[in-house]
Amino acid sequence: MNIIKVDRDFTRKNSIIENHKRAAYEDGAAIRDISWKLKILTDAAKYDVACTSSGVERKGNGRDMGNAAACGICHAFAADGRCISLLKILMSNECVFDCKYCINRKSNDVPRATFTADEICKLTMEFYRRNYIEGLFLSSGVVGTPNQTMELMYEAVRKLRIEHRFNGYIHIKAIPGASQELVEAIGYLTDRMSINLEMPTSDGLKAMAPHKSRSTILKPMKEIQAGIHNNRLTHGLTDKRIPMQIRDCSAKVYEKALGLPKKETYNFLVENDIGGTKTDIVAEPKADYVVGTRGKYFVPAGQSTQMIVGATPESDYHIMNVAEALYDNYDLKRVFYSAYIPINEDSSLPALDTKPPLLREHRLYQADFLLRFYGFRAGELLSEERPFFNEKIDPKCDWAVRHLEEFPVEVNTADLSVLLRVPGIGVKSARRIVMARRYGSIDFNDLKKMGVVLKRALYFITCKGRMMYSTKIEEEYIVNHLVYNEPPEKIFKPDTGSYRQLSLFDVGSPLMIGNG
Amino acid sequence: MINTVLLHDGTLDGIFTAVYNGFVLKNIKYKNNYEDNISIADIHTYEPHFFREYIEVETDRDKAYKTVDSIVKKIGISGYDVAMGVACHFSPDAGEILFGFLVRGFKIGKGVVNMLTDSYVEKAFALSRKTYNESHLFREFVRFTDVKGRLYSKIEPKCNILHMICRHFAERFPAENWIIYDAVHHIAAVHPSFGQWFLTDDEGADFDRIDSMPHDEYVDMWKLFVDTIAIEERKNERCQNNHLPKWYRKNMTEWKK
Ligand code: SF4
C-alpha cells in the first residue's frame, strides 16, 4: 500500500487523495464484479454432486498455506443438507455443446460469465484461509474447444499451485475430448480428477448429449487410471486402497506430540496493535518444500465420476453393473449418482414438474457402499428379473430377507465377511465385534454399545446361541417389522418374548430420505 | 464406592496433577485392595456429597507432565488419547471415569484399550469419543475473520477442545497470524506467523473490540456462495439440522445475521 506523505502542495495532495478514492472505488467494483460472477458460476455448478475432499493425506510443509486430510473435511451444510467441502464453481458457463439435461447448454438463454485465473485464485485463497473450504472444485462449460477450455483451467490451477503456493485440495473436472497431454499436465497439479459419465449407457448418452460420446469420456478415464497406477508404483504403493500419504516435505514439528500445551502470557490485543500485517514474520521457514502435487504426484486422491439417474430409462440393475465395472476396470475412487432435476423442457426428457428421484438416488448410494466396503457384487443385489431396489427397505436388508438360509449368524464366532452382511452391522461395528470377542463373549447389550443398530440386526443374529427376542425367520414377517422401523423395546416385550402384532397398514410413512 | 475426591482447578495441568496426587494417595491408603474409592473433580462445578472427603489439589505443572509421560509409557499412545479425551469432557463424571480408566490402565498396560466390556473402560471410550467428535466438528466449523490481515475466530465448545485443534490449524496456516478464542473456557490459542502456537488465558484481552473492526468483505461472498450452492428442488432442512446442529451455528459466519 502507498503511504500518503504530508505535502504542502494542496493540488498534489488532492490528486493523491483522488487517486486513492479511485483505487478504493475500483477495489469495490472488482469485489462487486467477482461477487456477480461467483453467483452465476456457483449456481451453474451446483448440480455436480462430487464434492468430497477425501482420498489424500498431505501434511503442511511449514511454509505454504494448506494441507489435506485423507478422510476429507466438511465445512458447512447447504439448505439441501449436502456438505460443502470445496469451493465448487465453474470456470465458465459459456458452452458450445448442447447437452439436453444441462442448464448451461448452448441453446439456453442464461446470463453467462467467465472467471479469470486470478479471480479463481483469489477466491480460493481467501476462502481457504478463513477455514470456509478444503480447496477448489473446478469444472467448466466448453469454451471454444475442449482443449482451449482445459488450457484455461490449467492456467488457473497452475497459478494457484505455483504462484500462490496453495497446498490444499484441488478437484478438476476434465473436459471430454481434451488431449492426453493436457489431462496429464493438470493431473500433476490436482488431487482428484473426474470425468462425468453422465448417462449409464452409451445409448442414453447419445440421446442426451449429442456432442459427447462414450469414447471421449472413457479414453481420458483410462489415461488417468494408467497415470495414477504408474505414479503410485513409483511411490511404492501397490495396494490401490491405501490413500497416498504425502509427507516428504519439510513439515515443521510444531509441538511435542505428547506434552501438554504451553501456557504463556501474550496479550496480543493489548500490547500489539492488531493493525500489523502479514509482513511481521517472526521466523523464516526452511527452504526445501513441496507445494501440492507439483510434478511428483499424479491425481493422488484418485478419480471419480457421476451418473445422472432418472433422465433416461436405465434400471438400477444397469446402473449398479456400470458402477461395478467402473470400480473393477477403471479403479475409480467414487461413483456419484445424481437424481435428475428437470431444468430444460425437451420431449425426450421427463416433464418439468417431475420430482427428482431422491429415494432412488439414496438406495443407489447405499448399494454403492455395499459394493465398495461390504464385499457385495451387483449381481447379488439385483437381477434382470428384479431390476429395481426395494423402496421400503434398504438394499442390505432386502438382500438379507431374500437369503434367510444364511441366517441367523452367531456374532461370537462368525467371520468378519459374514458379519458385514448382517443388516444393522456396519464396517466399524463389525471390526469392534471381532476385536472385543477376543476378550470375552458378547451379548446384545455389548452390541448396542459397539454401534450395532439392533432394530435391524435382531432378526438376523444370535448371541451365545440365543436370539434377542423369539422372532421368526420368515421373509414377510421380518419385512413388516423392518418397515415399521420402531426400536425393539416398543415392539417386543422382552420378558415374555411376545410381540405386538402389526401390519403395514399402521405404518404411515416410514421412509427416510437422507443425502448420499 | 468413592470416598475421596481430589479437587482441581479445571485446567489440564490441574486435572493431571490431581491424577498424580490420586495415585500417591491410592498407594498409601489402599495398597492392594483398591476398589475405585478415589475420584477427581473440578472445584468450580462439583456437587458436595455427604460421606466424601474432599482434598484440594495445588496445580503443579511438573507433576502433570510426569503423569502424562507415564501414561504414554505404560498405556501407550492410544490409551493416552482416550485419557485426554475424558479429561477434556465437560461431564461431572469425567473425573471418576478418568481415574478408574487409569487405574486399570496402569495395572493392565496397553491392552486396556481392548477391554471394552469393563464399565470404566467402556465409559472412558464413550466420553472420549464425544470429546474427539466435538474437536473434529470444530476443525470444520471454526470460521476466521480477517482483521487487518490477521485471522480471528471465536468458538464456544462444550468440551475443552481448543488445544486439540490447534495443531491442525498451525499446520494448515503456518504463515498466518491467528487467534482462536474459546469464550466458554476463557482461553485463547495464539499462533504467530511461522511461530509456535501457545495457549493463554483471556485476562486483560479485549476480544469484543474486534467486532468493531472494519467489515470483512469475504464474509458476504461466502454467504452468497452457501446460499447459491443449495438446490431448491432438494431442500431438506432436517438433513441439514442433523449434520449441523443449530447449537454450533452461533459463531459461524454463514449463519450470522
Ligand atoms: S458440455 Fe454439456 S454438460 Fe457440460 S456445460 Fe456444456 S452443455 Fe452442460
pLDDT tens for each residue of B52-91: 889 999 988 889 989 998 999 999 888 999 999 999 999 9
For residues B181-198, give the mean pLDDT.
87
For the ranges A112-126, A307-321, A340-354, B95-109, which has the lowest average pLDDT? Answer: A340-354
Residues of B in contact with A169 (CB under 8 A): none
Average pLDDT, chain B: 87
Min CA distance, A383 vs chain B (Å)? 30
DSSP state of A249: S
Asked if B28 reaches chain A (Cβ–Cβ under 8 Å), the answer is no
Lookup result for grid cell 448420499:
A516
DSSP state of A360: H
Site residues for ligand 1, CB cut-off 6 Å: A 95, 97-99, 102, 104-105, 141-142, 209
Residues of A in contact with B13 (CB under 8 A): 260, 263
For the ranges A299-303, A304-308, B197-201, which has the lowest average pLDDT? Answer: B197-201
Asked if B212 reaches chain A (Cβ–Cβ under 8 Å), the answer is no
Calculate ∠ Cα A365-A133-B228, nearest 5°.
Answer: 75
Chain A, residues 415-454, CB within 8 A of chain B, namely 432, 435-436, 438-440, 446, 449-450
Q: Which position has the higher pLDDT, A32 or B51?
A: B51
Under the banding of pLDDT at 50, 70 and 90, the label for residue A488 is low
Q: For chain A, how big is the Rg over CA atoms in Å?
A: 28
Q: Which tens digits make up the pLDDT trace of A201-223?
A: 888 888 888 888 888 888 889 98
Q: Which position has the higher pLDDT, B116 or A37?
A: A37
* Residue-level pLDDT at A15: 58
Q: Which tens digits make up the pLDDT trace of A256-283?
A: 333 334 434 333 333 333 333 322 333 3
For residues B26-32, give the mean pLDDT.
82
Q: With pLDDT > 90 as the criterion, what percentage of chain A qualifies?
A: 31
Atom 1 of ligand 1, residue of closest alpha carbon: A97
CB distance A115 to A149 below 8 Å: no
Check pLDDT > 50 for residue B205: yes
Under the banding of pLDDT at 50, 70 and 90, the label for residue A498 is very low
Contacts of A425 (CB under 8 A, 6+ apart): A419, A433, A452, A453, A457, A461
Best-predicted range by mean pLDDT (A85-89, A229-233, A494-498)? A85-89
Q: Which tens digits make up the pLDDT trace of B117-152?
A: 888 999 999 999 999 999 998 998 899 998 888 899
For residues A134-162, give the mean pLDDT.
93
* Residue-level pLDDT at A289: 37
Look at residue B65 and give its three-state secondary structure: helix
Calculate ∠ Cα A484-A489-A491, nearest 5°.
Answer: 40
- Between CA A40 and CA A46 the distance in angstroms is 10
For residues A75-83, give the mean pLDDT.
81
Q: Which tens digits make up the pLDDT trace of B90-118?
A: 998 899 999 999 999 999 898 888 887 88
Question: If you measure from the C-alpha of residue B221 to the centroid of ligand 1, how many angstroms do you get, rounded to a whole number?
Answer: 26
Average pLDDT, chain A: 79
Nearest to A72 by CA among A157, A168, A138: A168
For residues B165-173, give the mean pLDDT.
91
Q: With pLDDT > 70 as the criterion, what percentage of chain A qualifies?
A: 78
Cell of B185: 473456557
Atom 4 of ligand 1, residue of closest alpha carbon: A141
- Indicate the pTM of the whole model: 0.81
Give, in order, the Cα–Cα distances in Å from B188 to each of B13, B48, B108, B200.
16, 31, 37, 5
* A103 CA: nearest ligand 1 atom: 8
Structural domain boundaries in chain B? 4-134, 142-255
- Between CA A256 and CA A275 the distance in angstroms is 31
- Between CA B224 and CA A89 the distance in angstroms is 13
Give phi and psi for A44, each to the nearest 5.
-75, -20
Q: Tell me the domains of chain A and their CATH numbers.
A: 40-246+296-373 (3.20.20.70), 392-491 (no CATH)
Q: 3-state secondary structure string, A193-223?
A: EECCCECCCHHHHHHHCCCCCHHHHHHHHHH
- Between CA B131 and CA B157 the distance in angstroms is 10
Give phi and psi for A56, each to the nearest 5.
-140, 140
Question: If you measure from the C-alpha of residue A125 to the centroid of ligand 1, how many angstroms do you get, rounded to a whole number?
Answer: 27
For residues A293-310, give the mean pLDDT.
81
